[in-house]
Chain A
Amino acid sequence: MTVRAILVIARLNGRIQDSPLQKIMKRNFKIWRGDKNGGQFVDYRTNIEPGMVVLDVLHRIQAESAGDLACRWNCKAGKCGSCSMEINGKPRLSCMTRMNSFKEDETITLQPLKTFPIMRDLVTDVSWNYRQKEKIVPFRPKPRDADGNYRMTRDDVERIQEFRKCIECYLCQDVCHVLRDQGGKDQFVGPRFMIYLASLEMHPLDTADRIPAIRKEYGSGFCNITKCCTEVCPEHINITDNGIIPLKERVVDRYFDPVMWVKRKIFGV
């Protein structure tokens, strides 16, 4: 007997109920509308069908009642990082937030990212992040082997592959309280760029020394490792444990550990 047949019999026997979201239903939304000069929450009500995500709802509202509602999106597959916003107060990708993850009677609140300047409605200006990346010393590989190739083993690069999953949605930057609430944009580059730095610093072929800059210009000491960046990452990158803390430990090696200092003086490593 196939699984499908078993499910049909179970449904006929009343053992499996259809999900309430198998039918079309009206849901309430509260969306922030405005620009850099101010704005307000506006209430919307629209039909939700099975399988919809928050971004689908925004498109439906645009089509039905708010053609001028601004939101940024691109791939609708959780890979471009464009549709970041705050959904019921949590930084999330709207294309990856399913409507059936909310209670039936819950009003869903949508806001622009708090950390970045508002352009319009749900769209923010994230260009501050691009300027942080420009500050970082890029990959500087060592010379090629005699046969003209670079060689690395899988064990060497496995660790940094995790950081390369980043889609630059900037949800981690948004939730980082140093950038979000403490006015630390001049002192700390934020978690996204800490893992970018980790991917460079841990690269087996890279030769650049960024440790002094990680401590000073990039501000590793401003992170107090409360791990919110890790909690919101849609790619499940272990930003704090695998990226930021290892960088902090490398800074300790260089500046705060007297034994390492003596070791460097004697052995040069």
Chain B
Amino acid sequence: MNGQARGGYQSGVAVTVRNDTWWISPLLTFLGFSTFIIYSTWSALQGNHYYYGSYLSPFYSPLIFINPYAVGSAPVEHAWLGAYPSWWPTFIPQSPAFLILAFPGAFRFTCYYYRKAYYRSFALTPPGCAVNPLPRRDYRGETFLLLFQNLHRYALYFALLFIVILYYDAFRAFVRDGRWGVGVGSLVLLLNATFLACYTLGCHSWRHLVGGRLDCFSCDSLSKKRYRIWQRVTFLNERHQLFAWISLFWVGFSDLYVRLVSMGVWRDFSTWGN
């Protein structure tokens, strides 16, 4: 016998015997996430054009402080704490998005689906199934530096709060100057809150907390109720990846929509006629 690698397996990053297009999925994931990260960071740093009529960009909600002099900013009474205080450090951008994006960001970063996606697409551990990973001297998984992934449920608690806030924003988008109405933007924001709710309520940690942690679903009346909830959450959980992508795309699109309408690039068709 000659000296071919044992079993015919070669070493090297991303080397595989597979002859299908396994690399398309991690590549698209890489491009999709990169695009979103670049756009959302750029948009968050702008601090302007996040408000139009009664539409508030989801990247900027809730408004903690606002700069009322920025173009396309919300009225100052919409902010929880009013205008930026005079002591605000100059090196921190006066953008309301800057104060809140860490919370949904943490939820997505520690999400079990996103972990799969970026471990494959960005960390190459592994890039695909039966494809050689990036070599590591001492693989520790999520037991050492990545131990913080275990705090996903705390990011979930904030994400649940954001769902309430975004639905509030969506319903406010149906009222302008005291008059009920509907615009394309109202529907965009309502869909945004709904997609985010479907994503958040399909979370693995949520599924565990509502009932998955029980061993006996029939032992008492509360367990039976939790079982019914667990079944419904399981329905969403089975579509977690789908809603992760839809909600990611739509939240970015919602921000872009409000921004372009605020800049006058797009016209918002609405019953208010402006």
Contact = CB atoms under 8 A, between A and B. Distances in A.
Interface of A: 32, 34-41, 86, 88-91, 106, 109, 111-114, 118, 153, 155-156, 175, 177-178, 180-184, 188, 201-204, 206, 219, 221-228, 231-232, 240-241, 245-246, 248-253, 255-257
Given A32-B8, A249-B204, A252-B153, A221 B142 contact: yes
Given A182-B136, A227-B116, 17 more contacts: A32-B7, A36-B6, A88-B17, A89-B17, A109-B8, A112-B7, A118-B7, A175-B130, A177-B125, A183-B139, A203-B215, A222-B139, A226-B126, A241-B204, A250-B213, A253-B208, A256-B150
A245 B237 CA distance: 12
A245 B112 contact: yes
B43 to A, nearest CB: 30
Nearest to A253: B213
Contacts of A206: 215
Contacts of B147: 221, 256
A34 B153 CA distance: 50
B141 A89 contact: no
B218 A246 contact: no
Given A155-B227, A225-B112, A249-B213, A39 B4 contact: yes
Task: Please classify the interface of chain A as helix (H, G, I), strand (E, B), loop, or mixed, using the class held by over half of its residues.
Answer: mixed
A222 B141 contact: yes
Q: Is the interface of B mostly helix, strand, loop or mixed?
A: loop
Contacts of A36: 6
Given A38-B3, A90-B130, A241 B237 contact: yes
B216 interface: yes
A40 to B, nearest CB: 5
A225 B143 contact: no
Given A175-B129, A226-B116, A249-B208, A90 B215 contact: no
B6 A224 contact: no
A188 to B, nearest CB: 8
Nearest to B228: A155
B216 A204 contact: yes
B130 A89 contact: yes
B133 A221 contact: no
Nearest to A121: B7
Interface of B: 1-4, 6-9, 16-20, 112, 115-116, 119-120, 125-126, 129-130, 132-133, 136, 139-143, 146-147, 150-153, 204-205, 208, 212-213, 215-219, 227, 237-238, 240
A226 B120 CA distance: 7
Contact of B212 (A106, A203, A249): A249
> Most chain-A Cβ atoms within 10 A of its Cβ — which of B6, B8, B116, B147?
B8
Contacts of B1: 34-35, 37-40
A206 to B, nearest CB: 7
A256 B151 contact: yes
> Which 9 residue pairs across A and B have the least CB separation, nearest first?
A89-B17, A89-B18, A228-B129, A221-B143, A222-B141, A182-B139, A249-B208, A256-B150, A153-B218
A155 B231 CA distance: 10
B194 to A, nearest CB: 23
A40 B4 contact: yes
A156 B116 contact: no
A229 B218 CA distance: 31
Contacts of B6: 34, 36, 38-39, 118
A111 B133 contact: no
A246 B208 contact: yes
B204 A41 contact: no
Contacts of B130: 86, 89-91, 114, 175, 180, 228
A178 B150 contact: no
Nearest to A215: B143
Contact of B141 (A201, A204, A221): A221
B125 A38 contact: no
A118 B151 CA distance: 41
A224 B125 contact: yes
A89 B16 contact: yes
A107 to B, nearest CB: 9
